[in-house]
A and B are shown apart, each in its own frame.
Chain A
Amino acid sequence: MKTSFTVNGSPFSIDLDPRVTLLDALRDHLNLTGSKKGCDHGQCGACTVLVDGRRINACLSLAVMHDGDEITTVEGLSEDGRSPLQSAFVRHDGMQCGYCTPGQLCSATAVFREIAEGWPSHVSETLDGPYALTREELAERMSGNICRCSCYPGINAAILETAEEDAGYAEAAE
């Protein structure tokens, strides 16, 4: 089945078995192997990508359902792989084996926007918003990305530091 979407700003049109998930389309058909398959069932978050700016588990979505969508993977987060967030992950050792890292980065990118838009979380004291990106808020919001090496301290430090230093984000959150 012919499917067209944009990935990291470039248009693609591919003929796919409807069974192909968005994750497998990215990895095996577009050779974008940054997104990882950890469980293939939405139970780990390693496959997290952004679709129209929102994070989803690419493993639990059929590629044909994304006709016309704009998809961003880890490869599209920056030109050189050294965005402030990516650099902060290296600096804070927010990875060990690195397998969950692309999903963590995509997820964190979406969390910035969710906070800026005033989305509440399970740990928010009230439902009124707006919300500051505290450690507790971040930990809850990033809990869909499992890291078995358990780099959560480094991951959180990297995300919090990036949030603090990114003025645009801070303004949006206020």
Chain B
Amino acid sequence: MHSKSDKKRYPIYFVIPAFIFYSIFIILPFGISFIMSFTDWNIERMYIPIFRGFDNYIAIFRNSVFIRSIFNTLLFAVATTILKTLFGLLLALALVKVSRLNNILRTIYYIPCALSPMIIGVIFTSILANDGLLNNVLSTLGFSAVAVNWLASYGTAMSSVILIEGWMWSGFNMFIFIAGIQAISKDYYESADIEGAPAWAQFKSITMPLLIPSFTIIITLNITGSLKVFDLIYVLTKGGPGFDTQVLSTFVYKAFGLGLLGQSSAASIVLSALVVCISFVLNRYLTKREVEL
């Protein structure tokens, strides 16, 4: 016979491996980074960092590239989340009905998010090059005037990166929305049909409110993922032209490249704080609006 306290402890045993793993690889490095962000730790003084208070934070916030990186990160996160959510919802509404063609189309739309961002980046670097596929197509169609060097100026470079990210992840969101739509009971729509409610009213009053849990998942996942963007920016623009499309992750990478580990840690703490705060606030806001099915 097992005692009551054994039964209470039993689930904890299952948590221990995950807790140890999470602590060693997430909590401990984060804690060390947090402490080191207040020191003059750099690659030449690996073992003798000296406490310097908020100097690193003051230094990065005085750096115009860092401020620009914060702006770009927020712009990227907001714009891509809107795009991915919107495209994902539209795709889900279009492909929610089960048919052979829809199954094939769902797979096609999902493929981009199964590819490595590095590969996507390399492909789009060629497509968006001055003499790349996009400009050739535009010229063939008689739109030479619109054909520009897409990655050579801030506006077009940032827009291109945002659109590519939106294209990549819409398929993923589509699946979450499809699952959400399929979970809505048909009874609601049948009642609405009997009442003579048009399709738009059904969408507005039934589908949308009951899809809020899906929105919560999608927006939270997309915002947190986009705030941490690195690979796509690094491959497509390398943060350029100049420092125009730098985001927080590329800034951290650059600081690390200079061997300024204290500053690099401070920048990553700012990034983490940003991700945690935004995710927390958003999650709280969206969860409150969720409707019980």
Chains A and B bind each other: no
Interface residues of B (CB under 8 A from A): none
